[in-house]
Chains A and B, each alone.
Chain A
Amino acid sequence: DGGITQSPKYLFRKEGQNVTLSCEQNLNHDAMYWYRQDPGQGLRLIYYSQIVNDFQKGDIAEGYSVSREKKESFPLTVTSAQKNPTAFYLCASSRRYNEQFFGPGTRLTVL
């Protein structure tokens, strides 16, 4: 079945550690996105990529990094520079002007 997978579902990080969240899609979508959601809040865009080997910062990119080496994959690294990384992270993909489809999310907790 076509869709978006994110792993892991839950992730615990010690302060000072970098962690990488996985996002894979088999929908053949060109564009992929990473969002952060805090409790009771909407989604805020971290990074997005409209084509392989190219990506742009979103509204809250500081402390995060991404890569887009393959069309199917758009991993997000939460670095130690991100001061408050505990949140729910959602990955999405879309054909360029169409609706975005979301993965199930990764819940990151800093211990």
Chain B
Amino acid sequence: AQKITQTQPGMFVQEKEAVTLDCTYDTSDQSYGLFWYKQPSSGEMIFLIYQGSYDEQNATEGRYSLNFQKARKSANLVISASQLGDSAMYFCAMRELETGANSKLTFGKGITLSVRP
């Protein structure tokens, strides 16, 4: 079974509006971490935000926030006030801390976001 699922087709958002990118995950670990990365057309992966499974508050980093719903195993990324530079691929990833190889990340297949002027 897929550990990270990102099923949205290409997403479009109007500049200055908010957008939510979906991510669901599957793990039997109690301790894990969830990450979001941005990949612009240049190819480099840029770290955006992190949520630990025991964190009680949803993570926020500037215009990025993570809507973490543990019972539903979802970790959706919310981008507020979209900018043209937000157009990119976005990847959700998970690190499981109880499997021994505790620094490995498992990535989803990504979502393409296009911001319209």
Residues of A within 8 A of B (CB): 31, 33, 35, 40-45, 48, 50, 56, 58, 88, 90, 92, 94, 96-97, 99-105, 107
Contact = CB atoms under 8 A, between A and B. Distances in A.
Given A48-B104, A50-B103, A97-B103, A92 B45 contact: yes
Interface of B, secondary structure class, is: loop
B47 A100 contact: yes
B109 interface: yes
Contact of A97 (B37, B97, B106): B97
A42 B103 contact: no
Interface of A, secondary structure class, is: strand
Contacts of B117: none
15 contacts: A41-B109, A43-B105, A45-B106, A48-B103, A48-B104, A88-B43, A97-B33, A99-B35, A99-B50, A100-B47, A101-B47, A102-B45, A104-B43, A105-B44, A107-B43
B28 interface: no
Contacts of A99: 35, 47, 50
B107 interface: yes
Contacts, number: 58
B42 interface: yes
Given A48-B101, A102-B44, A105-B44, 12 more contacts: A33-B105, A40-B110, A42-B4, A42-B108, A42-B110, A43-B107, A44-B107, A90-B45, A92-B45, A96-B103, A97-B102, A102-B46
Contact of B105 (A45, A88, A96, A107): A45
A56 B101 contact: yes
Nearest to A95: B103
A62 B44 CA distance: 24
